[in-house]
Structure 1
Amino acid sequence: MDAFTSRVRRTIGIDGLISTIMGTFITVWPEKSASFVAGMIGFAFLAIGVSKLLVSLRDTDQGKSNRIIGIIMSILYMVAGLFIFLDIETATLSLLVVVGILTGLTWAIEGIIQMTIINRWGSNRVWTFISALISLLAGVTLVFSPLFGGLFLWEFFGIMLLVVGIVKLVHVAIVR
């Protein structure tokens, strides 16, 4: 086996291991894993706020108004990060609701678009209509029950990561 193939194989194995661990974590402990992700977002907001603040304070080449806007934005990022850490449970629920609503809107819009252009798809309109109807119904369901939908999507994401990770690990172990 040449060096390139060996590196690719090792990378797939590492990816499979990480996917399996993350998928297991999300599937077994969905609330804790979602809280962990919300915490990561809070940490990212704090880091972005601090870095923007440092840039705004150090960069004297930009105009006064740009510096003030930069400082205000950095403070807003830091406050958002702190709010996430002050009430991680609410932040986690908000994250799941936002994921549910955005996914629902995306699916509903996709279904509407498919239905509006169904006549352009030629002779196979039945499957296009069924696909559009499923997207529209799933999207509307998620929009009207975003927390349940967000939890379902989070669990589904965990299961898919777990399955993909195991398949990659088996593939790396079997294929030589």
Structure 2
Amino acid sequence: MSTTQNTTSTFVRSLRTAFIVGGILSVILGVLILVWPGRTAQVATGIIAAYTIIAGIVYAGLGIFSRTKGGWSRVGHIALGVFFIVVGVVAFANLAAFTVSFALFLGVLVGILWIIEGAVSLSVVGESSSRGWTIAFAVLSIIAGVTLLFSPLWGAIVLWWLLGISAVALGVVNIVRGLSFRP
């Protein structure tokens, strides 16, 4: 076998393995979201809380140990680090409540983003080649955003379920893609 064929074969096997492993992980994540939505959300919130504590330690360390930063920059890094650490510790102290608060925050954020996206789409209707679709998208986006603002927790729950369903579906597709690859 030539070097080019060997390299191509190795690449295809690696790609195939990546698709299959990624697909399996996606299916597992999707099933966890669908079977234990609350616990999986708490785990995700816990991961974010751990990240904030680590980021806080890094920021505080930059402020304390930096030799190149000025006084206010050091104070800002230390303050930001302490804030991150406090948020992470508070999140771990009551993970269930923080998970609900985080879901509400995300629901409101997505609702606002959809309203803005709809408004921006309406602002470019005159330049669009498909005005009908642009208007339909804008109106649906604004309606979905307003609906999400009035019920952000229910909206976050629906989005979480859609994420679980999507993860399972995309995972299965990636597994099939990986299995269908041939060198």
Please give the TM-score of this superposition, normalised by the length of structure 1.
0.92
Contact 2:30–2:166, Cα closer than 8 Å, also in 1 = yes
- 1:84 maps to 91
* Distance of aligned partners of 1:72 and 1:3 in 2 relative to their CA distance in 1, 3 Å threshold: same
- 2:124 maps to 117
- Please give the alpha-carbon distance, in whole angstroms, between the structure 2 residues aligned to 1:106 and 1:130: 17
For residue 161 of structure 1, the aligned residue among 164, 167, 180 is: 167
CA-CA distance at 1:66 after TM superposition: 2.2
- 2:45 maps to 38
- 1:103 maps to 110
- RMSD (Å), alpha carbons: 1.6
Greater CA drift, 156-165 or 101-110? 101-110
Q: Are residue 54 (structure 1) and residue 77 (structure 2) matched? A: no
- Please give the alpha-carbon distance, in whole angstroms, between the structure 2 residues aligned to 1:172 and 1:111: 37
For residue 170 of structure 1, the aligned residue among 151, 156, 176 is: 176
Q: Are residue 13 (structure 1) and residue 20 (structure 2) matched? A: yes
- 2:5 maps to none
Secondary structure of the equivalent of 2:68? coil
Poorly superposed stretches of 4+, deviation over 6 Å: none
Tell me the percent identity. 30
- 2:156 maps to 150
Please give the TM-score of this superposition, normalised by the length of structure 2.
0.88
- Please give the alpha-carbon distance, in whole angstroms, between the structure 1 residues aligned to 2:75 and 2:85: 15
- Please give the alpha-carbon distance, in whole angstroms, between the structure 2 residues aligned to 1:137 and 1:148: 15
What stretches of structure 1 of length at least 5 have no aligned partner? none
Deviations along 1:91-123, whole A, 9 cap, x unmatched?
Answer: 10111112111111111112122223223324x
